Amino acid sequence: MPLTACQKAVAVSASAAAVAAAVLLWGVGAEAVYFGDYLHGSLLLTAAVLASLLESLTAWQYIDWRRSRYLTEAAPPRCRLPQRLLAVDTYRRAVAYALLSVPCFIQLQRLWLPILPGAMLLLGAALYTAKYFCLVSRQRAIVKVPTFVRFKDEAAVAETSTPAPASSDTGRLSHQSSFASTHSACSGQPISGSKDSGIEATQQQAMGGDEAPGKARRIRALTRACSSSPDRRCLITEEDSLSLHE
């Protein structure tokens, strides 16, 4: 079940708020270090680095999610850091951004500009929490769909899209009946009807009517030769019958 437009909007808004907070943290942290507030500035720059890293991996996942092997389980053990950082998503990232916003509200009497990135971090945390609830509701909606309904729809689509196989039972049965009639005529066993009618029926079944008169004459000659020598056992194998039919 794909994401709805509202869920996509929440996910994009959360990433946009986090990116804006990272940009503001870079500027405010650099300004704090420039004016001599090294401790506060270093905390802001650390928060900027972490936020930039997380959002860069998220952008990488959206852009290159099909071709990159470093974001999947197939990544080498030494290159699984991006995959582990991407696990910090939804409510985990919301908690991380809430913690990163704490340095933005320290010593406001000396530096009030960190309020802006702090507010953006809190907004991003709220949006990531909303994204988490959207994903949970989506999973519940998938579970509520009955399994047999999905299987029934897939079976209906498969039946309409798959062509019916060509049946070859008719040709196989006619060949078997012609072989049995020819073998019984050569072995001297009685068959239903007269000998001529049996030979004609065999020829019609084997040749399909007047399709090949030369082949019909070959079968007639072979059956007469077998019937004229009762003391000699005449055998016609299936391979001989096939050679006559070809």
Q: What is the pLDDT of residue 209?
A: 47
53 and 116 part of one domain: yes
**Is the model more confident about 224 or about 55?**
55
Mean predicted confidence (pLDDT) in 199-216: 53
pLDDT tens-digit series, residues 70-87: 556 666 666 666 667 777
Kindly report the backbone phi and psi dihedral angles of residue 176, in degrees, each rounded to the nearest multiple of 5, phi listed first. Answer: -65, -40
**131 vs 33: CA distance, rounded Å:** 35
What pTM did the predictor assign?
A: 0.54
The answer to whether 183 touches 229, Cβ cutoff 8 Å, is no
Q: Could you read off the pLDDT of 145-197 as tens digits, one per residue?
A: 555 555 555 566 566 655 555 544 444 545 455 545 554 544 554 444 444 45
Instruction: Say yes or no: 133 and 181 in one domain.
Output: no
Q: What percent of the chain has pLDDT over 70?
A: 48
Question: Does residue 93 fall inside a structural domain?
Answer: yes
Q: Does 44 score more than 90 pLDDT?
A: yes
Domain count, the chain: 2
Helix (H, G, I), strand (E, B) or coil at 89: coil
Q: Are residues 123 and 60 in the same domain?
A: yes
- What pLDDT is stored for residue 205 in this prediction? 54
Same domain for 181 and 230: yes
- Is there a domain that residue 60 lies in? yes
**Do 184 and 133 fall into the same domain?**
no
Whether residues 113 and 228 fall in one domain: no
Kindly state the tokens that stand for 131.
Answer: 């994204």
Q: What is the pLDDT of residue 140?
A: 77
Supply 88's token pair. Answer: 């910090």
DSSP for residue 205: H
Give yes or no: residues 13 and 128 share one domain.
Answer: yes
Secondary structure element (H or E) that encloses residue 56, with its range: helix 38-63
pLDDT of residue 59: 83
Q: Verify that 190 and 142 share a domain, yes or no.
A: no
Shared-domain flag, residues 115 and 186: no
| Structural domain span for residue 24 | 5-146
